[in-house]
Amino acid sequence: VQRDNCILVIFGASGDLTRRKLVPALFSLYEKDLLPEKFAVLGVSRTKMTDASFRKTLAEGVEDAEAKPDPDDFRKFAKLLFYLSIDPGEARDYGKLSKRLKKLDESLKTGGNFIYYLSIAPSMYEVIVENLGTAGLQKEKKQDQAYKRIIVEKPFGYDLESGKALNKKLTKVFREPQIYRIDHYLGKETVQNLLVFRFSNGIFEPLWNRNFVDHVEITASETVGVGTRGRYYDSSGALRDMVQNHLLQILGIIAMEPPPSFDSFSVRNETVKVFQSLKPIAEDEVDQYVVRGQYTKSQINGQIIPGYREEEHVDPFSRTETFAAMKVFIENWRWGGVPFYIRTGKRLPTRVTEVVIHFKRTPHILFQHKKDEQAVPNQLIIRIQPDEGILLNFGMKRPGTGFHVEKVSMDFHYSDLGDTSLADAYERLLLDCIQGDPTLFARGDAVESCWRFVDPILNRWQNNPDETIYGYPAGTWGPRQATHLLTQPGLDWHYPC
Ligand code: BG6
């Protein structure tokens, strides 16, 4: 019997994430023959559905996600999908869940291994965890080694206090090693490559510190607006939606020390140390270190783009930020004094996530063409998405008379690897959880440290409703005040194209 055989129980099975992401990812794993030998999905939610109608909605989701799914493969895969209609908020419904799980487990021989996936409104997390506990569905029986795991989707709390409360609730019922807090950015191939790039090459690591690095930029720009998610987004904002989780996780990997070995304990210890070393931004320093913005109505290619306040389900007087830029310092020996600039926003000119490492200028400028010409500092651009790859900029002599320096680059694109397609983040993360590897999931202490860092900023904005929020026309790079964060003369953000 394979150790990873299991039943994946999805709470919120009639929802968008299940249809759009989870099941297409599972189907792709099935096509690659990566799912365990014995495996099933039990979708759970309040909507009344039969197994057959559940399979039908999921088939549509797979068709939207994949260009041409093989119908025979999907038919076989669909036999692994089951559905149970219960009210996850009702303790007494868990008897039905228990019974159905037992029956499926016996017939499919999944060894009593269950993974619970919370893909449901966050307000339901605590009650589901409690109900699972009361029904004893979290218990791992020593003698048959059956495992029980729980995957928790973001948002993991709303602030430090609620993040801590959720951790407390979870760890009352499950042990920390059973808990998998998902951050889909960690499932991205190119985010994992940051680890390989840093720790499998001898030439970059000696330069990866305050002696050689001038500053670092982390940008996640999106062209989309909030679309149909206005209700969620208006109570969240860019800081909670992108910075507290995805961008700080990237920062953790960029800035961490090399772990003693590549296991979940060592790797996550090192990223947590980065989060614990973030220089706090006190409430009265927020203006100095953080700029927030909100997109306003504009016209792009002749098309009118509504402003954020005109979006569906958004308060017309909303002061929720759709853009956030900040200057962050890490107080440790490696990074002391090096600014990390983080920026994210909706309705920016292009969709790009990238990290730019700006190295220091040469100590002395030999090749100066014009009087105030500056040496071209080296940049390493790590493109997380799209056009995934790595680019190193450096100076070369322009052929011809004199000694004129030209910026050129060495450029690697994942697409050059030919038939290697990059798997969706959820594929990797679901498989890791099935195989019991939590390395790419956020640990409880990491999530709390990240909330601890962003909390004063959120408080400042919440307690001072008149605090400035800058408008920026949709389709531009956010408020120009974000540039003032870069205080060194002549410095500006890197604008990816
Ligand atoms: C989600 C946010 O976590 O990440 C969204 O809630 C955002 O607002 C999305 O659009 C970005 O993810 P990706 O993978 O498209 O960069």
| Greater pLDDT, 460 or 59 | 460
188: annotated binding-site residue? yes
Q: What is the C-alpha separation between 398 and 376, in angstroms, rounded?
A: 13
- What angle (nearest 5°) sits at the alpha carbon of residue 428, between those of residues 60 and 352? 80
Mind telling me the catalytic residues? 246
Closest ligand 1 atom to residue 236 Cα is 6
At 143 the pLDDT is 61
Residue 145 predicted with pLDDT over 80:
no
Q: How far is the CA of 407 from the centre of ligand 1 (A)?
A: 33
Q: How far is the CA of 299 from the centre of ligand 1 (A)?
A: 24
346: annotated binding-site residue? yes
Q: How far is the CA of 346 from the centre of ligand 1 (A)?
A: 10
Residue 372 predicted with pLDDT over 60:
no
Strands 340-345 and 298-300, by their bridges, are: unpaired
Closest ligand 1 atom to residue 245 Cα is 3
Q: How far is the CA of 246 from the centre of ligand 1 (A)?
A: 9
| Greater pLDDT, 327 or 385 | 327
At 281 the pLDDT is 98
16: annotated binding-site residue? yes
Give the residue-averaged pLDDT of 139-163.
Answer: 89
Q: How far is the CA of 412 from the centre of ligand 1 (A)?
A: 25
For the chain, the average pLDDT equals: 93
Closest ligand 1 atom to residue 246 Cα is 3
pLDDT (tens digit per residue) in 112-127 = 999 999 999 999 999 9
Of all protein residues, whose CA lies closest to atom 14 belonging to ligand 1?
Answer: 185
| Cβ(313)–Cβ(230) below 8 Å | yes
At 369 the pLDDT is 65
3: annotated binding-site residue? no
Of all protein residues, whose CA lies closest to atom 6 belonging to ligand 1?
Answer: 241
Of all protein residues, whose CA lies closest to atom 8 belonging to ligand 1?
Answer: 241
Of all protein residues, whose CA lies closest to atom 5 belonging to ligand 1?
Answer: 241
105: annotated binding-site residue? no
Q: How far is the CA of 211 from the centre of ligand 1 (A)?
A: 34
Give the residue-averaged pLDDT of 379-398.
Answer: 91
Residue 1 predicted with pLDDT over 80:
no
Residue 418 predicted with pLDDT over 70:
yes
Place 375 in a pLDDT band, splitting at 50, 70 and 90.
low
Helix axes 425-434, 23-31, angle to 10 degrees: 80
Q: For residue 288, what are its two tokens?
A: 């100095």
Of all protein residues, whose CA lies closest to atom 15 belonging to ligand 1?
Answer: 222
At 406 the pLDDT is 86
Give the residue-averaged pLDDT of 416-437.
Answer: 89
18: annotated binding-site residue? yes
Residue 175 predicted with pLDDT over 90:
yes
Closest ligand 1 atom to residue 232 Cα is 6
The 3-state secondary structure of the chain, one letter per residue: CCCCCEEEEEECCCCHHHHHHHHHHHHHHHHCCCCCCCEEEEEEECCCCCHHHHHHHHHHHHHHHCCCCCHHHHHHHHCCEEEEECCCCCHHHHHHHHHHHHHHHHHHCCCCCEEEEECCCHHHHHHHHHHHHHCCCCCCCCCCCCCEEEEECCCCCCCHHHHHHHHHHHHHHCCHHHEEECCHHHHCHHHHHHHHHHHCCCCCHHHCCCCCEEEEEEEEECCCCCHHHHHHHHCCCHHHHHHHHHHHHHHHHHHCCCCCCCCHHHHHHHHHHHHHCECCCCHHHHHHHEEEEEEECEEECCEEECCHHHCCCCCCCCCCCCEEEEEECECCCCCCCCCEEEEEECCCCCCEEEEEEEECCCCCCCCCCCCCCCCCCCEEEEEEECCCEEEEEEEEECCCCCCCEEEEEEEEEHHHHCCCCCCCHHHHHHHHHHCCCCCCCECHHHHHHHHHHHHHHHHHHHHCCCCCCEEEECCCCCCHHHHHHCCCCCCCCCCCC
At 358 the pLDDT is 96
Which amino acid is present at 151? I
Which one of 231, 242, 426 would you pick to mutate in the ligand 1 pocket, going by the greatest count of ligand atoms within 8 A of its CB? Answer: 242
pLDDT (tens digit per residue) in 255-309 = 999 999 999 999 999 999 999 999 999 999 999 999 999 999 999 889 999 999 9
Residues with CB under 6 A from ligand 1: 154, 222, 241, 353
Q: Is the ipTM of this complex over 0.90?
A: yes
Which one of 218, 222, 229 would you pick to mutate in the ligand 1 pocket, going by the greatest count of ligand atoms within 8 A of its CB? Answer: 222
Give the residue-averaged pLDDT of 470-492.
Answer: 92
pLDDT (tens digit per residue) in 221-241 = 999 999 889 999 999 999 999
